[in-house]
């Protein structure tokens, strides 16, 4: 099993972080009790600018769940088709070669689901195995990659495509003044990413010019943490649930999980030469570094993508993968871990070898 390519698609509407902050402050005006706290949260977010699904002025009219979800469907289909096209082209593959399409998102809902809407648009196979996944949040990119690997393990002559589309701006709650929502507004953004995974019997899949081999994956669930992260869903849509305990959950669990997973393959953390981790936010990345006992430089790609694009939920780790494959490719034979954590609370670890 091998990753052939990874490609992203970001909306054309890009805004510097300062402009987004000032626009929000102006909208809230005197309703915001502590503007200085908002300034501090945004200054500490580590984000330079973000892409939004719609022009900034459009968000004032998106005041119902129905309107925002309709906007999500339109943008998800457009960005999703772009990401899949780019990933297939980068892999040198045709849409007709796809055996399965796994679609991951947590920022909107659709039936028919987005991958179904892409079949006619992209001339995908009519017998394509469709696997829509909702609810995994930030862990979804890593979990989706693991499920794509599971699929081609069972069908080694086929190609699976993973698509993640997250349009976090369309979940924005403009009347929620909670700290959790203010953190969310400072961090999350919009984008899509696709990954092409090939089974061992796919011609050309073992060429050295392609991406890393997928060796194994492990999912871990942490009891008693259901309230740590997720959505409170109401008439107004998705309202962020984000506990300040999330960094501590990472510190308490991720290092142990990594050691157990690597140990099952006769490896240790010292054997990992390339870490591909979900961008999260500064506190998440710092907790990850502490949990794994690695320096900030080991997560340079994650910090860079956080700065450039913000947190794209499930798509973030796939953008880090794309960045690594394109600009930070390790030497052949290097062991690598791709990982993310998310609602549940849970983690997904994927062992790669370049």
pLDDT digits (tens, 9 = 90+) for 149-158: 999 999 999 9
The confidence score (pLDDT) of residue 294 equals 97
d(CA 353, CA 84): 24
Q: What is the pLDDT of residue 237?
A: 86
The residues facing 350 across adjacent strands are: 217, 338
Q: Which residues contact 17 (CB under 8 A, 6 or more apart)?
A: 42, 45, 47, 48, 49, 50, 186
What is the C-alpha to C-alpha distance for residues 84 and 107, in angstroms, rounded to an integer?
19
User: What integer pLDDT is reported at residue 116 of this predicted model?
Assistant: 96
Q: Which residue from 118, 242, 92, 268 is spatially nearest to 192, judged by alpha carbons? A: 118
State the pairing for strand pair 213-221/229-234.
Answer: unpaired
Evaluate whether 2-198 and 213-353 have a shared fold: yes
Cα–Cα dist 349/347, whole Å? 7
What average pLDDT does the segment 98-113 reach?
96
Cα 243 versus chain centre, distance? 19
User: How far is 6 from 164, CA to CA, in rounded Å?
Assistant: 11
- For residue 278, what pLDDT band results from cuts at 50, 70 and 90? very high
Question: Among 143, 149, 66, 160, which Cα is nearest to 110's?
Answer: 66
- Helix, strand, coil shares of the chain as percentages rounded to 5? 45, 25, 30
Least Cα distance to 114 among 49, 183, 57, 162 occurs for 162
- pLDDT exceeds cutoff 70 at 19: yes
Domain extents for the chain?
Answer: 2-198, 213-353
Q: Find out if CATH 3.60.20.10 is the number for domain 2-198.
A: no
Task: List, in order, residues 6 or more apart from 38 with CB less than 8 Å away.
Answer: 21, 24, 25, 32, 182
Query: What is the predicted pLDDT for the residue at 209?
Result: 63
Read off the pLDDT of each residue in 307-320 and give the average, rounded to a whole number.
97
Contact 349, 257 (CB under 8 A): yes
Domain 213-353 CATH superfamily: Thiolase/Chalcone synthase (3.40.47.10)
Instruction: Check residue 354 and report its DSSP letter.
Output: -
With beta carbons less than 8 A apart as the criterion, state whether 214 and 3 touch: yes
| Cα R_g (the chain), whole angstroms | 19
- 207 has a pLDDT exceeding 70: no
Residue in the block written with tokens 């999260």: 280
155 vs 2: CA distance, rounded Å: 13
- In this structure, is the dihedral angle defined by the CA atoms of residues 324, 326, 330 and 336, taken in order, positive or negative? positive
The span from the CA of 212 to the CA of 313, in Å, is 23
Distance CA 347, CA 144 (A): 12
Q: Which residues are catalytic?
A: 138
Distance from C-alpha of 314 to C-alpha of 163, rounded to nearest angstrom = 10
Q: Is residue 8 predicted with pLDDT exceeding 70? A: yes
112: left (phi over 0), alpha (psi -120 to 50) or beta: beta
Alpha helices in 15-104 (DSSP H): 17-28, 35-43, 65-91
List the alpha helices (DSSP H) in 92-139. Answer: 114-122
pLDDT tier, 208 (very low <50, low <70, confident <90, very high otherwise):
low
- Percent share of the chain, pLDDT over 70: 99
Classify 333 in phi/psi space as left (phi over 0), alpha (psi -120 to 50) or beta: left
Mean pLDDT of the residues in the chain: 94
Higher pLDDT, 286 or 40: 286
């Amino acid at each position: 099993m091998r990753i052939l390519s990874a490609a992203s698609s970001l909306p054309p509407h890009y805004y510097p972080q300062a402009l987004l902050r000032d626009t929000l402050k102006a909208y809230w005006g005197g309703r915001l009790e502590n503007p200085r706290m908002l300034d501090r949260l945004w200054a500490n977010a580590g984000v330079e600018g973000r892409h939004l699904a719609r022009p900034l002025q459009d968000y004032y009219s998106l005041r119902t769940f129905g309107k925002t979800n309709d906007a999500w469907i339109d943008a998800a289909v457009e960005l999703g088709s772009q990401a899949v096209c780019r990933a297939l082209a980068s892999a040198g593959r045709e849409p007709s070669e796809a055996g399965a399409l796994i679609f991951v998102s947590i920022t909107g809902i659709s039936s028919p689901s987005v991958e179904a809407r892409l079949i006619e648009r992209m001339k995908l196979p009519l017998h394509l195995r469709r696997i829509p996944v909702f609810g995994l949040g930030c862990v979804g990119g890593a979990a989706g990659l693991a499920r794509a690997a599971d699929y081609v393990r069972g069908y080694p002559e086929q190609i699976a495509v993973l698509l993640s589309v997250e349009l976090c701006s369309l979940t924005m709650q403009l009347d929620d003044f909670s700290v959790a929502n203010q953190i969310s507004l400072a961090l999350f953004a919009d984008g899509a990413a696709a990954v092409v995974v090939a089974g061992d019997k796919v011609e050309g899949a073992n060429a050295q010019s392609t991406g890393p081999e997928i060796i194994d994956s492990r999912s871990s669930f942490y009891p008693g943490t259901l309230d740590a992260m997720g959505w409170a869903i109401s008439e107004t849509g998705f309202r962020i649930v984000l506990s300040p305990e999330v960094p501590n959950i990472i510190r308490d669990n991720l290092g142990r999980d990594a050691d157990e997973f690597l140990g099952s393959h006769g490896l240790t953390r010292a054997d990992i030469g390339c870490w591909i981790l979900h961008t999260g936010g500064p506190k998440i990345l710092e907790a990850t570094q502490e949990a794994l006992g690695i320096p900030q430089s080991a997560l340079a790609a994650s910090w860079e993508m956080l700065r450039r694009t913000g947190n794209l939920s499930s798509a973030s780790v796939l953008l880090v993968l794309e960045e690594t494959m394109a600009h930070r490719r390790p030497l052949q034979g290097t062991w690598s871990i791709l990982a993310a954590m998310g609602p549940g609370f849970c983690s997904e670890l994927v062992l790669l070898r370049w």
